[in-house]
Chain A
Amino acid sequence: MISEKRFLQAGKHLMMGNEAMSEGAIAAGCTFFGGYPITPSTEVIEHLAKRLPEVGGVCMQMEDELASINAVMGASLVGAKAMTATSGPGLALMAETISMGANLEIPFVFCDVQRNGPGTGYVTEPHHNDIGFARFSGNGEFQIIALAPMNCQELYDLTITAFNFAEKYRCPVFLMSDAYLGHLHEVVDIPTREEILKKIIKRELPANTKGRVFSYKDPSTGEYVIPSPPIMGTEYCPGLFLHQPHGPDGLPTPKPIVFQEMLIEKITSKMDEISLTETYKLDDADIVIVSYGLPVRSSYRAVDIAREEGIKVGIFRLITVWPFPDEKVKVAVKDAKAVIVPELNYTGVIAEQVERVTKLETPVIKIPKVAEFHHPDDILKVIREVAK
């Protein structure tokens, strides 16, 4: 039984990032967490081990990462909103099953509290080095959604959004936190329970028990229809849908291309709803900063100082990092003489995406950082150089 009384009281709370993410999950109706502790994500399992039973949920520490992700999928298949949290090395171990989750259209939320790598790396240092890994986190071709919060409030809010996206689009949804953000303490403003309930998408049984249980393209409209997920152990459970590409009824399809197209297009055709972005002083900007996560915070100050110096610079912020919003970025950088991409990694995964979108016609300047995030001066220096 879910006890409504045990949800966090509305109002302001001082919270650690990892706790804010956990509370966001509870608010969204998560009733199952399967995970294996790993720095810097451990506070998530620690917090949920205490809190989930209080709201009628279950938190299981599994024997390893593979068991954790499988437990999450299993829980989701029987009707629970489920989540796991880990860091880079854990994502590597879980990758085996993530693609199966995408294949079976199982909704779940994956919190990646990113740390420095490769391999063991510097375990307590932030590093957005899983941003590419999350996008390509399994064998085969499938589309995931990834969200990048930049403060504790967003860790709470976007976790709710992540659960909604998982339910609505039936795909793995990644929350790309990091070691610094996960351990940062900030005030989080919790809405009232009524407001939250209005926002969240509940897991409901499909209206028609004999109807289609998997996504399909409606031939009359050409649009993708994503039905509620089937729930095993009820009459809604399709007889056979494992291991092979399946059609909308859950039965194997002889047309792999139709299935393949559906897995990707059901998400990329809904970019209007999925792609969350923000802009800052962008209207008349001829230098555009494209960024996500923590470096955006430093960019604010850099832009403010540069503006005082008469440099027309603005920010285009990606909240939804994947699928990459090609069209929106194209519009944002249309009149730019240069694009600056401060990224908390060495290779510039998102910078490469910007280069792809601009077809290399506009210079894209990377500001790489490893295991520590940008000081506003790091960004300001580049803005001044570009403006010369």
Chain B
Amino acid sequence: MARYEIRIAGFGGQGVITLSKMITMASSLYEGLAATQTEAYSAAARGGKCWAEVVVDKDQDVKIIDYPKALQPYDFLIILSEESASDVKPNFLKKSDTTGYLIWDPSTIKKFKSAKRIKKGLSIPVQKLAVERFGNIVFGNSILFGAFTMLAGIFSEESALETIRNFVPPNTLDTNLEAFELGKQEAIEFLKKLEEGQE
């Protein structure tokens, strides 16, 4: 059993659920791993506080996720709104060599008290970058997906790209792939810095 528990939180319409589905699709359909996804229901997903959870098992022999809920401490936490950031504490994340990462968006979260105390916290101004570089906020999802793919190492880049091809309208594919690359580079730099800091 090599179980990974992921939680994404933000507000409805930000792409919280889409991102969770992309992670699930890459892990299960393209990487062939057992995975489950659950999401906030109905009204909450439309403008209110929204969340989604993914559980993946990297062990190829595991055919079914026995307990499909993600629980604290999480392996990965992606926080996209100030409201969801307000109740995050450092102990929400697992203490592990390979996981225990936080990804958050400083362009939507002005105050994030706990972020300073989380060493493995990667901040990417996703919404700002999406608008500035690609002209539309929707590309933020692919930036996050790129960063997550790199940080988590659960599924290969190939599986991730295949997922993007499956998810986005064909005329936006190139831009989405660029956005993915941007997120990936952010994560690579972050990991490098983290490693230097440890030495």
A14-B28 in contact (CB<8A) = yes
Cβ of A253 within 8 Å of any chain B Cβ, yes or no, is no
Stretch at the interface among A77-85, A91-99, A181-189, A201-209: A181-189
Within 8 A of B (CB), among A354-388: 375-376
A186-B67 in contact (CB<8A) = no
| A151/B64 contact (C-beta < 8 A), A12-B29, A14-B24, A14-B25 known | yes
B68-A184 in contact (CB<8A) = yes
Within 8 A of A (CB), among B4-32: 21, 24-25, 28-29
Cβ of A236 within 8 Å of any chain B Cβ, yes or no, is no
B67-A298 in contact (CB<8A) = yes
Give Cα distance in the complex from A44 to B68, angstroms.
21
Contacts of A136 in B (CB 8 A): none
B68-A297 in contact (CB<8A) = yes
A124-B29 in contact (CB<8A) = no
Partner of A180, one of B25, B38, B66, B71: B38
Contacts of A186 in B (CB 8 A): 28, 35-37, 65
Cβ of A300 within 8 Å of any chain B Cβ, yes or no, is yes
B67-A185 in contact (CB<8A) = no
Cβ of A293 within 8 Å of any chain B Cβ, yes or no, is no
A124-B21 in contact (CB<8A) = no
Contacts of A61 in B (CB 8 A): none
Mark contacts of A211-223 with chain B using CB atoms, 8 A cut-off: 1 yes-contact digit, 0 otherwise. Answer: 0000000000000
Contacts of B42 in A (CB 8 A): 39, 124
Contacts of B41 in A (CB 8 A): 39-40, 124, 183
Partner of B67, one of A14, A39, A183, A301: A301
Chain B interface, number of residues (Cβ within 8 angstroms): 18
Count, A-B residue pairs, CB within 8 A = 52
Mark contacts of B47-90 with chain A using CB atoms, 8 A cut-off: 1 yes-contact digit, 0 otherwise. Answer: 00000000000000000111110010000000000000000000
Cβ of B39 within 8 Å of any chain A Cβ, yes or no, is yes
A187-B39 in contact (CB<8A) = no
Mark contacts of A163-194 with chain B using CB atoms, 8 A cut-off: 1 yes-contact digit, 0 otherwise. Answer: 00000000000000000100111110000000
Closest chain B residue, CB of each to CB of A150: B64
Partner of B36, one of A40, A185, A376: A185
B28-A298 in contact (CB<8A) = no
B35-A301 in contact (CB<8A) = no
Contacts of A375 in B (CB 8 A): 67, 71
Contacts of B39 in A (CB 8 A): 183, 185
A185-B24 in contact (CB<8A) = yes
Partner of A183, one of B24, B38, B65, B71: B38
B66-A298 in contact (CB<8A) = yes
Closest chain B residue, CB of each to CB of A375: B67
| A184/B64 contact (C-beta < 8 A), A14-B21, A124-B42 known | no
Give Cα distance in the complex from A297 to B38, angstroms.
16
Mark contacts of A26-42 with chain B using CB atoms, 8 A cut-off: 1 yes-contact digit, 0 otherwise. Answer: 00000000000001100
Partner of B37, one of A13, A180, A184, A298: A184
B28-A297 in contact (CB<8A) = no
| A185/B38 contact (C-beta < 8 A), A12-B29, A14-B24, A14-B29 known | yes
Closest CB-CB distance, A117 to chain B, in whole Å?
17
Closest chain A residue, CB of each to CB of B54: A185
B28-A376 in contact (CB<8A) = no
A301-B66 in contact (CB<8A) = yes
Closest CB-CB distance, B199 to chain A, in whole Å?
38
| A187/B28 contact (C-beta < 8 A), A14-B21, A124-B41, A180-B38 known | yes
Closest CB-CB distance, A371 to chain B, in whole Å?
13
Contacts of A185 in B (CB 8 A): 21, 24, 36-39
Give Cα distance in the complex from A151 to B42, angstroms.
21
Within 8 A of B (CB), among A318-374: none
Partner of A376, one of B25, B64, B67: B67
Give Cα distance in the complex from A237 to B117, angstroms.
76
B67-A187 in contact (CB<8A) = no
Closest CB-CB distance, B106 to chain A, in whole Å?
30
Give Cα distance in the complex from A124 to B38, angstroms.
12
Contacts of A39 in B (CB 8 A): 41-42
B66-A376 in contact (CB<8A) = yes
Interface residues of A (CB under 8 A from B): 12-14, 39-40, 124, 151, 180, 183-187, 297-298, 300-301, 375-376
Interface residues of B (CB under 8 A from A): 21, 24-25, 28-29, 35-39, 41-42, 64-68, 71
Name 7 extra pairs, CB < 8 A, besides A13-B29, A297-B65, A375-B67: A14-B25, A14-B29, A151-B64, A183-B41, A185-B24, A185-B38, A297-B67
The 6 closest A-B pairs by CB, nearest first: A185-B37, A301-B66, A187-B28, A124-B41, A300-B66, A297-B66
23 A-B pairs, CB-CB below 8 angstroms?
A12-B28, A12-B29, A14-B24, A14-B28, A39-B41, A40-B41, A151-B64, A180-B38, A180-B68, A184-B37, A184-B38, A185-B37, A185-B38, A187-B28, A187-B29, A187-B35, A298-B66, A300-B64, A300-B66, A301-B66, A375-B67, A375-B71, A376-B66
